[in-house]
């Protein structure tokens, strides 16, 4: 075999540099074309101070402020060419039109909690529309409704509702720093899902900017698109700027508790096993979730609850349906519903304006896996999960369980794109956290997460193996690098997230965005579109 000469090596090195240089020039041209296009719009002066490029001193702080998974905050993570932080929805249509004209993708961010960073990461030249300034909440107590701009966090929503009424609430996220844009459009669960369903189930109108830059409400977008964005993910269809929601009744007093039992001396595994038979079948006023975690070598099982009623009634009921837990009156605290939104986040219940805080303390790198359990997991399998939790890579992993049943059983699988309804006992998530930013460490922890996911295969839903869209996982239906993605490949993750609703979502996408302008690695594809993993 003939060995290449030094001149050959030099030739190929120069060729690679030339290709990279040409690529950089092309990206710069797209950015310049985009900015020139934007500058020619009639209201550019109103948005000029909200346009950030790499040359702007505030670019990095704006980008990093809403990143909730430090896995995607490294220097090697692809960055947007431009970040736009509009202050009114009228400023967004020119951004959409100019990005489309210039060949730039758009990623839309409201809170930054997306598990795979898709709202601020892309492998092709792109613009981020950061909706952080669109965070107004207008509550109508008489109608029991609210208009919520999509950049608001769920904490802001709860606070604004409580300002107007102590007996109204909304069944949104447990975590108060989640942006409503992604949360509502992916379904969105909270502690009242067993009473009132999901956030998306309680949306009654919305405003969206489509691929042509048109601002549409429910009437003008049509019922098919309105159906799609209440669980099918807004990023596949446009830029959602606001939601109108139906508020729900809450009592003056709710009751909370948080009880932890370890598996070594307090029968934690057996209680966890028993919980599966109790929580999904309980009264719809009762939510009891489970978090399993490790403290040094001890595995702890925490039962946390919000009950829409008084403590005496709760204790009596729990002693009837779950006496093994040993709940007593001293374990319970009565408070207002708004205070419970802080308690459930393990935060002090005063001051209430803590709910307005958009930042989140103690951020760690994260890889998430989600499943739906339709048959109780056997005790020996739970013991196997405990054993895995004692492994070195699981030192900060938690298992997180959210009970279904109640109202969730009563809503048809096809009512919205969110299909995990009747028969789903609970959502199970394996959330693997770690501190170090080294790539080798990330590989180790992600590998553990995948082994956990493989271990759970016999004990969770199948055909399809269901997953929660708002806990997106790019391991599902993963594509070969630079390979073409077929409809069949897309349907792997599509069926996991949406089951039979995936096909209807594809039909809606084909009508409203046939050229697939709004896209990411797991966006809804239009029929016959040619899309690749990089940029889809």
- Look at residues 383, 261, 251, 400 and name the one whose alpha carbon lies nearest to residue 327: 261
Tokens of 271: 């209680």
Contact 188, 172 (CB under 8 A): yes
Contacts of 21 (CB under 8 A, 6+ apart): none
- Look at residues 289, 281, 300, 217 and name the one whose alpha carbon lies nearest to residue 256: 289
Provide the pairing of β-strand 248-249 with 168-169. antiparallel
Catalytic residue status for 471:
yes
Annotated catalytic residue, options 399, 404, 433, 471: 471
What phi-psi label fits residue 38: left (phi over 0), alpha (psi between -120 and 50 degrees) or beta? alpha
Contact 496, 211 (CB under 8 A): no
Q: What are the residues facing 293 on neighbouring strands? A: 300, 398
- Look at residues 380, 427, 418 and name the one whose alpha carbon lies nearest to residue 400: 427
- What sections of 322-459 are H helices per DSSP? 337-343, 379-389, 407-410, 439-455
- Look at residues 169, 132, 125, 167 and name the one whose alpha carbon lies nearest to residue 152: 132
Alpha carbon separation from 171 to 8, 116, 182, 475 (Å, rounded)? 65, 24, 15, 30
If one counts every other C-beta atom within 10 angstroms of the C-beta of residue 330, the result is: 9
Sign for the pseudo-dihedral over CA of 533, 238, 235, 496: negative
Provide the pairing of β-strand 126-130 with 105-109. parallel
Alpha carbon separation from 531 to 45, 81, 114, 281 (Å, rounded)? 36, 21, 22, 44
| Residues designated as active site | 471
């Amino acid at each position: 075999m003939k060995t290449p000469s030094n001149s050959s090596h030099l030739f190929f090195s120069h060729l690679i540099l030339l290709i990279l240089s040409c690529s950089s020039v092309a990206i710069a041209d797209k950015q310049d074309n985009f900015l020139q296009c934007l500058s020619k719009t009639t209201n550019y002066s109103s948005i000029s101070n909200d346009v950030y490029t790499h040359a702007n001193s505030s670019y990095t702080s704006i980008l990093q402020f809403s990143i909730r998974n430090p896995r995607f905050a490294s220097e090697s993570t692809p960055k947007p060419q431009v970040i736009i932080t509009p202050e009114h929805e009228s400023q967004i249509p020119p951004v959409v039109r100019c990005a489309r004209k210039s060949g730039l993708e758009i990623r839309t961010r409201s809170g930054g909690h997306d598990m795979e960073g898709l709202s601020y990461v892309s492998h092709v030249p792109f613009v981020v529309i950061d909706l952080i300034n669109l965070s107004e909440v207008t509550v109508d107590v008489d109608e029991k409704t609210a208009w919520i701009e999509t950049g608001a966090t769920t904490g802001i929503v709860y606070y604004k509702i409580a300002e107007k009424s102590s007996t109204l609430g909304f069944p949104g996220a447990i975590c108060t720093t989640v942006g409503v844009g992604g949360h509502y459009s992916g379904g969105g669960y909270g502690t009242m899902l067993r009473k009132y369903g999901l956030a998306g189930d309680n949306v009654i109108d919305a405003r969206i900017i489509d691929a042509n830059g048109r601002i549409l409400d429910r009437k003008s977008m049509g019922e098919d698109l309105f159906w799609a964005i209440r669980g099918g993910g807004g990023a596949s269809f446009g830029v959602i700027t606001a939601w109108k929601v139906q508020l729900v009744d809450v009592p003056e007093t709710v009751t909370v508790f948080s009880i932890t039992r370890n598996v070594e001396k307090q029968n934690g595994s057996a209680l966890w096993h028993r919980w599966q038979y109790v929580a999904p079948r309980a009264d719809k006023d009762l939510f009891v979730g489970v978090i399993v975690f490790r403290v040094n070598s001890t595995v702890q099982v925490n039962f946390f609850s919000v009950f829409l009623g008084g403590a005496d009634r709760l204790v009596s009921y729990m002693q009837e349906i779950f006496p093994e837990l040993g709940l007593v009156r001293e374990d319970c605290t009565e408070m207002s519903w708004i205070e419970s939104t802080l308690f459930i986040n393990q935060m002090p219940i005063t001051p209430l304006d803590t709910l307005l805080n958009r930042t989140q303390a103690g951020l760690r790198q994260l890889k998430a896996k989600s499943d739906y359990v339709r048959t109780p997991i056997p005790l020996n399998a739970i013991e196997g999960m405990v054993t895995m939790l004692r492994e070195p890579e699981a030192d900060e992993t938690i298992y997180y369980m959210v009970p279904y049943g109640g109202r969730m059983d009563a809503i048809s699988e096809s009512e919205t794109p969110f299909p995990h309804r009747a028969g789903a006992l609970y959502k199970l998530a394996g959330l693997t956290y770690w501190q170090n930013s080294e790539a080798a460490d990330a590989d180790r922890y992600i590998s553990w997460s995948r082994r956990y996911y493989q271990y759970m295969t016999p004990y969770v839903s199948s055909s399809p193996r269901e997953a929660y869209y708002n806990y997106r996982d790019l391991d599902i239906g993963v594509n070969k690098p630079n390979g073409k993605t077929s409809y069949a490949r897309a349907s792997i993750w599509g069926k996991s997230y949406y089951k039979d609703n995936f096909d209807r979502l594809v039909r809606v996408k084909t009508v409203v965005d046939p050229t697939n302008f709004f896209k990411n690695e797991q966006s809804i594809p239009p029929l016959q579109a040619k899309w690749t993993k990089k940029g889809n």
